[in-house]
Amino acid sequence: MTHQVHIIGGGLAGTEAAWQLARRGVHVRLSEMRGGADGDRSPAHQGDGLAELVCSNSLRSDDDVSNAVGLLHHEMRACGSLIMAAADKARVPAGSALAVDRDVFSAEIEAALTAQPTLTLARERVDSLPSEGLTIIATGPLTAAGLADSIGRATGADSLAFFDAIAPIVYHDSINMDVAWRAARWDKGAEASFALGSDGKDYINCPMTKDQYLAFREELLAGEKTVFKQWEANTPYFDGCMPIEVMAERGEETLRFGPMKPVGLDNPHWATAEHPNGRWPYAVVQLRQDNVLGTLWNIVGFQTKLKYAEQQRIFRTIPGLEGAEFARFGGLHRNTFLNSPTLLDRQLRLKSAPHIRFAGQITGCEGYVESASVGMLAGIMTALEITGGTWAEPPRTMALGALLAHITGDAEAETYQPMNINFGLFPPISGKTPEGRKMKKPDRKVAYTTRAKADMAGWLAALGAGAA
């Protein structure tokens, strides 16, 4: 059988893309290296089943009323997602979370796909990007070396296998601006910022006294760190991606001459003769806007191996971040992903080779459900391209639209890192509840999901049979 689309990678994104295509009668070749004659397997996988869950067995919250990932579940079910259908069949008790029996989950997906008459499952390793023919690359964060090298050559990247140094991201509305303030160092770059429509005060600055700085450094040194997995042990750091606690180990003043440098930052909250520290902080933690909407801000230079609970505890000792809510914690692990805002168009196609789409974690989304959802979108886009249908981009008020927009343009390319779905990716909501009172955080969450569900109806209608 001659295939119309070649999908490389049989994880969650690849199988979901294959399903969306095959169920529409498109001929698909799904290549998965596990289970082949060469015995290939990534170091993270334990078996050969399609869509193997290599970490947790949880697809996280199934609450579609006040939770962003639960909303994503809802939208995927509305689009006929195989991953969600299999998860519902393999569900095990986990409260409001959607947890599954791994083996049942994988078996359900493999059975559904192999039953499709237009799908061929090929147990084979693919070592280079196809030069022609519609292709979806969904090989995940541990893409095999040969294919990773081929992707690197095609995208201009020196290497796609490295320690992915992630700085924490906080929600803007959880930062205490009575303590922190907006400014650029010595106001440098203000002219360029004005040209981009900014007021030139491009950073949020959190000031520290000497005692606060010294105490913070001690917390970094003493905090509990994660241990690298075996296959990560010999992967080097990128230059400039040193963990904050490793920098702290190099000397008492190292951080003050690195990411916590205070020079050129005049604290207006301290600009009184009575303030014991004068106008100039001893150290400063800076946050930089992380998305176009301005709802998410990353802590500059704070890539870290600290465990999540330790990050929350220690980083909340930073003045101005006492009540910080984290959209993403920092991390450091071996990963493979594209700088998608630069390399991909709005339909997930490689700009330099538009016959190739990318899907799943290799695009820079994080998490099982996010990976599968991007695979689903790639499958629908490709099916419409083949059948002559018209692709309608999901509105950014939807979880699917917010995630797609983040991957393909909303995120800052210079600081692009893997991201889970969260309400910080959505256009902000403000105002009052239907009862007339000011919205609090739980109210806003419900408002986000209510708006998304209303807008989803119009999007599905615009796609017509393409999304059914």
Characterize the bridge pairing of strands 349-350 and 353-358: antiparallel
Please tell me the pTM assigned to this model.
0.74
The most confident of the ranges 138-152, 334-348, 372-386 is 372-386
Residue with structure tokens 């760190």? 225
How far, in Å, CA of 272 to CA of 266, rounded? 12
pLDDT of residue 48: 78
First to last CA, the chain: 26
Q: Which residue has the higher pLDDT, 352 or 193?
A: 352
* Domain spanning 5-161+336-467, CATH class: alpha beta
* Residues listed for the chain: 468
Dig out the tokens for 108 from the structure: 């359900």
Model pLDDT for residues 91-146, shown as the tens digit of each residue: 887 778 898 888 889 999 999 999 999 999 999 999 999 999 999 999 987 788 88
Domain definitions of the chain by residue range: 5-161+336-467, 166-333
* DSSP notation for 218-277: HHHHHS-B----GGGTTPPPPTT---HHHHHHT-TTTGGGTTT--TT---GGG-STT-TT
Annotated binding site: 9-14
User: Residue 195: pLDDT above 80?
Assistant: no
238-282 pLDDT, tens digit per residue, is 445 678 998 999 999 999 999 999 998 989 888 765 666 678 899
Return the percentage of the chain with pLDDT > 90, whole number: 58
Q: Which two tokens stand for residue 45?
A: 């996988």
Phi–psi pair at 99, nearest 5 degrees: -105, 155
**Tokens encoding 118:** 């237009």
Annotated binding site for FAD: 9-14
- The H-or-E segment that residue 447 falls in is helix 441-463
- Alpha-helical runs (H) found in 115-201: 145-155, 190-195
